[in-house]
Structure 1
Amino acid sequence: MAKEAEVFGSLSFLSQLRYRHLVAGVAGGVTATLLTHPFDLIKLRLAVQDGKGTGERTSYRGPIHAFRSILREEGVRQLYRGASANVAGSGASWGLYFFFYNAMKFSLQEGDIDVSLSALHHLMCAVFAGALTLTVTNPIWVVKTRMCLVSSPSLPRHMRYRGLRDGLANLWRHEGLRGMYTGYVPGLIGTSHGAIQFMVYEELKKFYCHHYNLPLSTQLSPLHYIAMAASSKVVAVTATYPYQVIRARLQDQEQRYSGLRDTIWRTYRHEGVRGFYKGITANLAKVVPAVSITFVVYENVSAALR
């Protein structure tokens, strides 16, 4: 484990950065987000409903009811409310995630991309890449969450964001560093989501290549990437979805929770275990096609830039 300790305990992996992974990751993330943002908006609105009523907000019975209500009461444009922050956040997150993940993976492979790594290696690379990515992008996700939610007229002007830039400026001015990193702890826990997803994806790819005696760097068909990406995403979502509900509620300005423990306790007390899975149907409807698009675009752009 000496080599692993050297890679993960220092910045030596930075020497292995390959910018094609950043470009390919950004391309995949932006493309997928533009196509699937409405599902994300619906998932967020369902996630913050706390079982006690939502004040001045419309209460939704499920994804279809939410979709119809938004169209009827707010118009089709509101399905893309917060899209600018989501595109920026997803593009940056996917780009940085692939960027850091592949740098660490390349270090462990000692420069040979056909060297097979273990599931534990993939897990470690993904956890570390996720933590680095979240540290950079958390403020964008705070703004994106708040923009996607309907703000009550009683909220002060500085809490009703006009866009990503306005949101980041007001967030920093009125809430400071603490506000910028609201939900960071559950987000950090949530890096397990990406870790599980990447580990399963890499293991499926490795199994397929070994089964057919192909080099790991072989360019597969889009259908193969879709099947592997979708399968890995379903596994990851099922295992880690509750943290997304908790994180969204911590970032919501109209629900006041004193911290992580308070959010978990109140969610369980008022809604039971089902409360931790609110919006999961809308989430799966969004993330499965989104991640499939992301990985297909990423793999093909990365191969073209190799």
Structure 2
Amino acid sequence: MAADDPGKSTPSDKYNLFRTIHSAMRHLNYDHLVAGVCGGVIATLSLHPLDVIKVKFQVGDGHFSNRPNFNGLVQACKSTTQLNGLRGFYQGVIPNMWGAGSSWGLYFFFYNAIKANFQAGSNQPLGPTKHMTAAAISGVCTLTMTNPIWVVKTRMILQTTKTGEMVVSAPSYNGLLDGLSKIYKYEGIRGFYKGYAPGLFGVSHGVIQFVAYEECKKAYNKFRKQSNEKHLSAIEYICMAAISKTFASSTTYPYQVVRSRLQDPHIAQKYDGSIDAIRKIIKYEGFRGFYKGLTPNLIRVTPATCITFVVYEKMSYFLKKRRT
């Protein structure tokens, strides 16, 4: 009988699948989405200039384009000021704000829903394996939904008002919506997912960061002999966020360099995908090429993450307290 065929789904199987999905959906909490968006937006507005410098370091290959190859932060800042003035430090800030806000919001949104589903009503902290699983699933979902915004952000940062850094034949973007429409017009849907493959590798960054953050909180609360759900001070959250972010950034930074190269329309055609980009970076720049812009990145992402996590923790606590 068909019902005995293990290769076919039965009404009971479909009901169990629906029940599982419904169970996960019940744990979606929009407080985490709002708190994550607030944290991402505030951190981005505070530290966007360092993100501009980081991206310019990443795409300066010195071989396939006339992008300048900076020797330090001071030279990069002088070049940006000469080409675009002080406004140059805020190129791409709108898509970056949208991207960071939506990414953090969605990440916390999915992450906490998956965690709650794993806990099934228990207050016991999860182990590293389940934290890794929750972070990985959240990372893939978030990247898939936000990658088009990151493509526009990278390209807007690399636009200049003079021709000293770029090939002027590429279309310029007047904003996020204009960038999205032009990418769709000239490159189609595939244009929205330039750099998606190295971005998937970058999911490991979120996994490492969130596992380290959760384990830091768990170890600290155990040391203080207090509940894992206890609301901590801003300084305590800052220390844990800084440790986890520095560790994650240092170990996974190379994927960001590869992604930036593939998203830059002026040098992307020189690389035949992620593997080819990795080979050429090693050949022409050595392994140091994978860490271009690491210093401004660490200077930016460490305080940015601290701001994001503190705002998130405080905002989610406030919303939860207000709701209950």
What's the TM-score bracket when you normalise by the shorter of the two chains?
Answer: over 0.9
Contact persistence 1:53–1:59 (CA under 8 A): no
Q: Is the CA contact 2:194–2:262 (under 8 Å) kept in the aligned structure 1?
A: yes
Find the counterpart in structure 2 of residue 122 from structure 1.
131
1:281 aligned residue (295, 299, 307):
295
**Aligned AA (1:196):** I
Say yes or no: does 1:80 pair with 2:90.
Answer: yes
TM-score when normalising by structure 2: 0.88
Tell me whether 1:293 sits opposite 2:307 in the alignment.
yes
Question: After alignment, is 91-100 or 118-127 more displaced?
Answer: 118-127
Structure 1: state its 5+ residue gaps. 1-5
Query: Which of 195, 204, 216 is the matching residue for 2:228?
Result: 216
Q: TM-score, normalised by structure 1?
A: 0.93
In 2, the alpha carbon distance for the partners of 1:142 and 1:196 equals: 24
Amino acid at match of 2:319: L
2:12 — aligned with what? none
> Counterpart in 1 of 2:262?
250
Instruction: Name the residue aligned to 2:8.
Output: none
- Residue 188 of structure 2: SS of its match in structure 1? helix
**Structure-2 residue corresponding to 1:185:** 197
Aligned pairs for 1:1-306 within 5 A: 12-52=23-63, 54-55=65-66, 57-112=67-122, 114-150=123-159, 152=163, 154-156=167-169, 159-255=171-267, 256=269, 257-306=271-320
SS of residue in 1 equivalent to 2:253: helix
Relative contact order higher in (CA < 8 Å, ≥ 6 apart): 1
- Say which is worse superposed, 187-196 or 58-67, in terms of deviation: 58-67
Are the aligned partners of 1:48 and 1:245 in contact in 2 as well (CA < 8 Å)? yes
* Structure 2: runs of 5 or more not aligned: 1-16
Question: C-alpha displacement at 1:177, in angstroms?
Answer: 1.0
Q: Distance in 2 between matches of 1:200 and 1:136?
A: 25
d(CA) in 2 for partners of 1:154, 1:236: 34
Backbone CA RMSD of aligned residues: 1.7
Report Cα offsets for 1:126-166 as digits up to 9, x if no partner: 01000000010000000001011135564336x21111110
The amino acid that maps onto 2:178 is D
Of 21-30 and 167-176, deviating more is 167-176
**CA shift for structure 1 position 278:** 0.4
Equivalent pairs, count: 297
User: How has the CA–CA distance of structure 1 residues 11 and 200 changed in structure 2, closer, same or farther, with 3 Å as cutoff?
Assistant: farther
Residues 14-48 of structure 1: per-residue CA shift (max 9 Å, x gap): 22100000000000000000001011110000001
Distance (Å, rounded) in 2 between the aligned partners of 1:250 and 1:12: 39
2: CA distance, partners of 1:73 / 1:39: 16
